[in-house]
Structure 1
């Protein structure tokens, strides 16, 4: 019986060069059950098949969209019943935030080797629980979309600009992210919009159940259940349960941005009061705007007046942490 089930999406950008190595590695290790999908619509059937082999670990090998679709289907599909295997994510996306949170960095094949090593022994010390973010439009109809990181306001506009204008240049991901960050900061702070820069953020209304409401133009809006982010920084209050979802909002001002950046570098973000920087934890967050984009694990949604995006945490599911 295979100890590890590996779900790969050959169409994800990272797999264009990685997948031949993955296939060769799996051919040499018979205790890996490798299932490839051509489209995210096939993930439900893939998980149904994978559930039959009862793996000890489910590994996701794909971009942000593949990870999000797999988590959504894993939670709603019920393919594994009450025995959902811990999930591991290979570092194979543009930002890799979920993989980073679980200690998966560097070469994806080395990460896969680490998964196999853990799966061959007692996995309990490596299993961690994480809630997912459930996103709906507030109506009773429709299937919630699940993820672990949502960006809005100027952050969402910068992510979209990077996706459409910088990634096509073929630059290394780290370089592309730095360029997008610099241009995004300029677009947020200049008094008028400039054509070649990311869009300036529109007005948003953000409310946290029992914690009040914020309104205005924000440089950054972020909601996450992750504990680690880029640059190996940690979210304030990581590991607490005063509210599963962490909300970070930074107002559109140079003082607020610099203050938040300095505090984050010093590891004090959330520990000291900063003007224009708002941190909350909660179990229901509503985002309302005028055709304002938000991005949940790579997929774009739109917050509108009178029809807010509603975020709630799910029950926790098990993940496999690769770091010691």
Structure 2
């Protein structure tokens, strides 16, 4: 009996070292159906095959791009006839925000063993629902048929530039993830505090306009722009405030060092989103529009650009079940 289906992408950075152990673990547990893809374009075919074995849990083992592509296929297709199994994400990417939100931390093998243990019993108390972000562009008559891209975490403004800087300049150095992220954060602070501009530093964020339907708009240069449906972010902070749940959550920080430092300290002490912080703006909505002059945004690792007159549109999707590993 297949209890879990494991979808792995051998080409993801984290799998280069861990995949032999993953394969060995699966070989010793026949109740795991392991499917490997060489490219994200093969994920649709993989899910079609996985649906035939009717797993109790679908486990994703790959980087941010693998997770995003899998969520997009689950949203856009009906491989499981309207009832997809709950999804678990192994902690195997660069940032692991989705895995962190679901309580999956540490060794991916241990997380996989934990999922298998849960799949043998009553899953109901471990299943949570998360809405997703559907990203699309304003139709222009040529791209109306393009399907939305699905994810759970979008970074824009200065955050997107720092993420690109980290990806293109720091990750190639082969440093540990925590050190890479620390160096990227320091580079951001240097650009904000000292106002330096150089080839070895992140690019300056472009002005953007962020609109929440029926709730007004923000316009200017920002050091950080986040839209997410996750409950937990970096440093264990959360921007889920208020009584509503499930809507898109927005956090924007003005482009000045003091606003960023105030937000950082509020996050460290668990107060981010629970009170007013000068220079930090929060919002919630079912639709958010981002417009700018070639302003970059990154949704779960994939780069998009918001342009003047053709904004990026973010909409909330229906809930998808996930397996939460933490108690």
TM-score (norm 1): 0.97
RMSD: 1.2
Distance 2:7 2:21 in 1: 15
Deviates more, 1:122-131 or 1:258-267: 258-267
Structure 1 residue 271 displacement after superposition: 2.1
Identify the residue that residue 238 of structure 2 maps to in structure 1. Answer: 234
The answer as to whether partners of 2:239 and 2:251 remain within 8 angstroms in 1 is: no
CA contact (8 A) 1:243 1:282 kept: no
Give the superposition deviation at 1:242.
5.7
Q: Which position in structure 1 is the counterpart of 2:159? A: 155
In structure 2, distance between residues paired with 1:287 and 1:243: 20
Contact 2:238 2:272 in 1 (8 A): no
Q: Which residue of structure 1 lines up, in the alignment, with residue 268 of structure 2?
A: 265
Asked if structure 2 preserves the Cα contact closer than 8 Å seen for 1:151 and 1:296, the reply is yes
Q: Distance in 2 between matches of 1:233 and 1:191?
A: 28
Q: 1:298 aligns with which of 288, 293, 301?
A: 301
> What's 1:216 paired with?
220
2:2 is aligned to: 2
Is 1:29 the counterpart of 2:23? The answer is no
Aligned residue number for residue 114 of structure 2: 114
Structure 2 residue ranges without an equivalent (≥5): none
Pick which of 284-293 and 181-190 moved more: 181-190
* 1:144 partnered with 2:141: no
Q: Structure 2: how far apart are the matches of 1:191 and 1:80?
A: 52
Measure the CA separation in 1 of the matches of 2:58 and 2:244. Answer: 26
Paired residues, what number? 323
C-alpha distance in 1, partners of 2:105/2:66? 18
Match of 2:317 in 1: 314
Secondary structure at 1:156's aligned position in 2?
helix
The two structures have a TM-score, normalised by structure 2, of: 0.96
How far residue 54 of structure 1 moved from its aligned partner, in angstroms, is: 0.3
List runs of 5+ in structure 1 lacking aligned partners: none
Q: CA deviation at 1:233?
A: 2.0
> Aligned partners of 1:290, 1:48: CA distance in 2, in Å?
40
Q: 1:1-324 to 2 correspondence within 5 Å?
A: 1-139=1-139, 140-237=144-241, 240-241=243-244, 244-324=247-327
